[in-house]
Structure 1
């Protein structure tokens, strides 16, 4: 490891939008290289020419390694976002396989530390996306039902032809009685055509909900 190699690695990274393949222990080697420079620097007189050159090399190595790391981190974040994104038309099983496949194909271009980071980022993005979609679904369901709520206090209201339900399990993509596709996750609050909701409730996959005095409650 030396400054010339660091410059070459940085140039390659800057010239491509994709992650460039590097050795698995790249960062450990960079760390060992800089520690060796620091050791040599401590062994020579401070005012000597050798001290000047070693100090300059150490500063350059730190600067180049920082730029290299930041450039690769940006690409890793983008890769994680693409990997975590699932196509709406794909079934849950296919989406999961596709995500794992993307991670496998990226493995060769990453160091060990980077690959571990990528896996964690993907899981964080997937989890965050699911939480946001869940909140959006709950808000949508609330507005749809609350918008038709009777003004009479305490009266239970439902929209004709539409049922509000809470899912009990993850349900792979299926076609509803209205011709629309659905992918449902456990604990999702969802609005479904009444016929579709009855089928899920009868199968033990969901529980019917009603709006009572502004709160969602399970239908007895």
Structure 2
């Protein structure tokens, strides 16, 4: 299978098409794999630029940081646009009992679509249809679990042991840049990521 080269421009074009067209747009089967490769290449460029000491290197470093941040924003938007279209398709399939065109879905998206369609149909059958037949809904409700309230103080104090450029975390928040020797208080999830990558070390067990 031919590898498709990912660029900032074609990611932006993909987002534009997803935004302004109602149907899902074609994506290569290896899209996720190619995107990960592209992100890793950008991260490597960023790391290389951060080790150079010149005005030109500093300018290029900032450009790469901004582009990497924008790339992640584009990917998030593309995902959410496609997610919305898939949800609508699954809902329509449940309501109309008509098969939907799934040819433009990636394997992971198709699994998502099938699970949603099954869930929508199950609830329709066991609530609406039962009700129209003068019967009580027969859905077995899951046990309610106490939701843990996010603790804003759930942070760790860590010491930075190598310069860390600005980056976007899994929560799509921007962190850094951090300098070697700096003590930072940061969410446990991000702290664990930096500790595992050997960019920081524990300062305390947990912030009180």
TM-score bucket (shorter structure): 0.5 to 0.7
Displacement after TM superposition at 1:136 (Å): 1.5
Displacement after TM superposition at 1:71 (Å): 0.7
Q: Does 1:69 align with 2:56?
A: no
Displacement after TM superposition at 1:111 (Å): 1.2
* Match 1:26 to one of 28, 31, 40: 31
Give the TM-score normalised by the residue count of structure 2: 0.55
Distance 1:118 1:131, change over 3 A: same
Please name the residue that 1:84 is paired with.
94
Distance in 1 (CA, whole Å) between partners of 2:76 and 2:25 is 16
Deviation above 3 Å: which 4+ runs of structure 1? Answer: none
Deviations 1:100-153 (A, max 9, x none): xx2xx32x2111111111111111111111121254246x358xxxxxxxxxxx
**Greater helix proportion:** 1
Please name the residue that 1:115 is paired with.
110
Displacement after TM superposition at 1:5 (Å): 0.7
**Greater strand proportion:** 1
Q: Does 1:6 align with 2:11?
A: yes
Deviations 1:62-116 (A, max 9, x none): 0111111111110010011111223xxxxxxxx5xx43xx2xx32x211111111
Greater Cα offset, 120-129 or 35-44: 35-44
Please name the residue that 1:48 is paired with.
58
The structure with the larger Rg is 1
RMSD: 2.2
Displacement after TM superposition at 1:50 (Å): 2.4
Give the TM-score normalised by the residue count of structure 1: 0.52
Structure 1 residue runs of 5 or longer lacking an equivalent are 87-94, 143-186, 188-220
Distance in 2 (CA, whole Å) between partners of 1:35 and 1:45 is 15
Displacement after TM superposition at 1:54 (Å): 1.4
Distance in 1 (CA, whole Å) between partners of 2:127 and 2:32 is 35
Aligned length, in residue pairs: 127
Please name the residue that 2:67 is paired with.
57
